[in-house]
Structure 1
Amino acid sequence: MMTTPHDEALVVDLHNDLILLVDHFDQRGRPEHFAEFWLPELRSGGVNVQVLPVFIEAQYQSEGALRRTLLLIERIHALAARHPEVAICLTGADVAAAVAAGRIAFVIGLEGAHALGQDPELIGTMYRVGARVVSLAHLGRTHLADGSGFDDSSRGGLTPQGFEVLAEMERLGIVFDISHLGVAGVDDVLARATRPLLATHSGCRAITDMHRNLSDEQIKGIAGLGGVIGVAAAIAPFIDPARPTAARVVDHIEHIASVASIDAVGLGPDFIDDYYAEVYGGRMEIMGVDAVEFVAAEVRRPSDLPKLTAEMVARGFSQTDIAKVLGGNAMRVLDEVMGVGTGG
């Protein structure tokens, strides 16, 4: 059977909230869910490296964030213990070894870092339990920063504790995730950061003007640090509320390449539809976005990822550039930063 550019590339997905659905089913006595649903999906999509963000639902953010975060991280470790097909990785070398062995490399992330509260030193604890990619806010406010959902009101940037956490992440070797930060927070990070970082799941504001997407200047700033923007292919409002097609996703990819460089593009689809369908009856709310605008994205699950490769092939992307977008660029950042401290 002939191989395709997708088959031949290392595929890195920078954002899939699958652990939320795994946890949901595990708590209901259905531990087979990962093996029956997610593992085949990841294999069908050719995913070699999966960043697993720990997202904290609203009901836990104020009072139970630390406990919920640790429980979900433990869920990830238990998942890896049960399934030899996957491996938790702490460094780029770990990822390379896992992929060489035919396993899917899991990288633990924190989406919002609610668990830290107002105690920056807890970032060291998160490092010790395996977190290697971290963002400081979700849509709202944490003790560390304001999320983009506050851009119409406070526009607060990083707090003093947020700056401490940024510095400690760079020292330890935790990749900073700029997705979800408000405009002032993005400016703060780009002014202070010294190492490559990620926007794990974002889009281009020039194509779709909504607060979660990045301006051209922000894209240039991320690229200037050697960073990578993972395009959030699975979230219709980020891509195009009316036409969230694979072709429209590639429009975002092309825009990032034209504004900055092909070396600044990756994939962070944000596969969350199945979780919201199971837990919330399909209703998803994003601050500042009317839920009635939602339509299903064409790239809805990992098995849909080859559609993006097919679209890039149709547009004349070289095999080298396709490989960069699918995973080469993201892996460069993980190799350089993940688990590699600065010695400061």
Structure 2
Amino acid sequence: MRTCLLPCLLSVMLASTPVAAQDATDAARALARDAIIVDTHIDAPGILSSRWADLGVEAPDREFDYPRAREGGLDVAWMAIYTSARQDDNGTARQAAHAQIDSVEALVQRHPDKFAILTSPRDIERLRQGGRVLLPLTMENAGPLEGDLSQLQVFFDRGIRYITLAHSAANRLSDSSYGVERKWNGLSGFGREVVAEMNRLGIIVDVSHISDAAAEQVIALSTTPVIASHSAFRHFTPGFERNISDELAKAVAAGGGVIQIPFGTAFVDPRAAEVLQARFRARAEFDQRNAARVAAGEPPEDRAAFEEAFNRENPAPTETPLSSVLDQIDYGVQLVGIDHLGIGSDFDGVGGELAEGLRSVADFPNLVAGLQARGYSDADIRKLLGENLLRVWHAVEDGAEAR
């Protein structure tokens, strides 16, 4: 276990001083370029499907694009194929997922010199030659399976290599950490079948977003290591089930898995976490009201007006220091050890509500500089940046091959 090597004054300085990309030290930029940086959660595909942008060139309204990825040293950017609970309910989730995969493939076909789809960690060195940014695919919410186990093979063949079992509400597989309703008290029978089939195929199981009971059952059932792809520690946000508890984090680590720390303020800032929980509760109530109105033959309420009113009445913090992310890492190292942590930024997925100095994929050197300032060795920083996650991915592949 690492103990802090610098006085507490340094943490105060980091918390109070704004950080910009150009502030990173030469040593931090050099390590970010040389290390393999793996970010397990970037929400670019959903935006690509709804509003195309050429991410092979600078895209100022996005947080991920090729020029900034190279500036920040990002090598492996997991593309999140996200579908909502509403799409689960109305039967459009599967089509939406395939459309998003199509959009990532179109990006790669447009820029084969800049991007490549990645389906195995064994291909990293070969595919990243020439400066390519590699794009493995993840399914955020297993709704597109639509209760059909055979669809796992279909999505595996399309490149999906980890799956977040549920998102903001219970689905056919699992309860959600956000959901008021606990439909399954953890996993459903189908959810248990899905975990076993994911193990067989070599798809990583992700316990972010699901309820504590479901996560506990996944960890017990899975024959290969699991991950929390973008979850911070609940220690800092008491009562926020979306973040991982100490007990579950220890269980993930005991099975060889990793906890990937996000940069979104809602995960690392207690006040922002309260606002996010309130938003999901309000949305659930709004959807229930609208369903009742439609059933009664009345027009539904306007969703955009609801969202605008909620945001006006529940302002989230506008400034969260980079030190909040560093504190998460420090805590995780003390709790589960350096070998069980990584990065899952949630870029393009939190509406720009990100810690200072970590506002786009260009900013990884700032994280490296902060870790170096707190006394982490370059070898340990390399583990956090990507080596730990790649170890897990290899183990999941090996577990599938051993069957």
Task: Tell me the TM-score range normalised by the shorter chain.
Answer: 0.7 to 0.9
5+ long unaligned stretches in structure 1: 278-294
5+ long unaligned stretches in structure 2: 1-25, 60-64, 273-316
Contact 1:22 1:34 in 2 (8 A): no
Which residue identity lines up with residue 23 of structure 1 in the other structure? Answer: S
Contact 1:91 1:340 in 2 (8 A): no
Please give the root-mean-square deviation of Cα atoms over the aligned residues, in Å: 2.0
Structure 2 match to 1:92: 121
Contact 2:262 2:345 in 1 (8 A): yes
Contact 2:231 2:260 in 1 (8 A): yes
Deviates more, 1:56-65 or 1:174-183: 56-65
How far is the alpha carbon of 1:194 from its aligned partner?
A: 1.7
Instruction: State the SS of the aligned residue for 1:42.
Output: helix
The two structures have a TM-score, normalised by structure 2, of 0.75
1:204 maps to 2:204: no
Correspondences of 1:121-270 after superposition (within 5 Å): 121-150=150-179, 156-209=185-238, 210-233=240-263, 235-240=264-269, 241=272, 244-270=320-346
Q: 1:75 aligns with which of 103, 113, 125?
A: 103
CA pair 25-152 structure 1, distance change in 2 beyond 3 A? closer
Which structure carries more relative contact order (alpha carbon 8 Å, separation 6+)? 2
Aligned mates of 1:34, 1:61 — CA distance in 2: 31
Q: 1:330 aligns with which of 389, 392, 397?
A: 389
Identity of aligned residues (%): 32
How far is the alpha carbon of 1:273 from its aligned partner?
A: 5.5
* Count of residues in correspondence between the two structures: 321
Aligned mates of 2:151, 2:349 — CA distance in 1: 31
1:304 maps to 2:334: no
Structure 2 match to 1:317: 376
CA pair 315-113 structure 1, distance change in 2 beyond 3 A? same
Which residue identity lines up with residue 76 of structure 1 in the other structure? Answer: V
How far is the alpha carbon of 1:47 from its aligned partner?
A: 0.6
Aligned mates of 2:54, 2:235 — CA distance in 1: 42
1:87-108 deviation per Cα after TM superposition (whole angstroms, max 9, x unaligned): 1111111223222442111101
Aligned mates of 2:132, 2:396 — CA distance in 1: 22
Instruction: State the SS of the aligned residue for 1:87.
Output: strand
1:138-160 deviation per Cα after TM superposition (whole angstroms, max 9, x unaligned): 02111011110126755721111
1:18 maps to 2:44: yes
Structure 2 match to 1:61: 88
How far is the alpha carbon of 1:59 from its aligned partner?
A: 4.2
How far is the alpha carbon of 1:200 from its aligned partner?
A: 0.7
Aligned mates of 2:66, 2:398 — CA distance in 1: 26
Aligned mates of 1:339, 1:21 — CA distance in 2: 34
Instruction: State the SS of the aligned residue for 2:58.
Output: helix
Which residue identity lines up with residue 141 of structure 2 in the other structure? Answer: G
How far is the alpha carbon of 1:300 from its aligned partner?
A: 2.3
Deviates more, 1:56-65 or 1:70-79: 56-65
Structure 2 match to 1:290: none
Contact 1:199 1:229 in 2 (8 A): yes
How far is the alpha carbon of 1:58 from its aligned partner?
A: 4.5
Structure 1 match to 2:132: 103
Contact 2:174 2:184 in 1 (8 A): no
Aligned mates of 2:241, 2:69 — CA distance in 1: 29
1:202-261 deviation per Cα after TM superposition (whole angstroms, max 9, x unaligned): 00011122121011111111111111111011x112101356321110111111111111
Instruction: State the SS of the aligned residue for 1:252.
Output: helix
Contact 1:25 1:33 in 2 (8 A): no
Deviates more, 1:311-320 or 1:332-341: 332-341
Deviates more, 1:160-169 or 1:92-101: 92-101
Contact 1:113 1:136 in 2 (8 A): yes
Contact 1:172 1:339 in 2 (8 A): no
Aligned mates of 1:82, 1:272 — CA distance in 2: 21
CA pair 239-152 structure 1, distance change in 2 beyond 3 A? farther
How far is the alpha carbon of 1:5 from its aligned partner?
A: 2.4
How far is the alpha carbon of 1:6 from its aligned partner?
A: 2.0
Contact 1:262 1:321 in 2 (8 A): yes
The two structures have a TM-score, normalised by structure 1, of 0.87
Q: 2:348 aligns with which of 256, 272, 277?
A: 272
Instruction: State the SS of the aligned residue for 1:14.
Output: strand
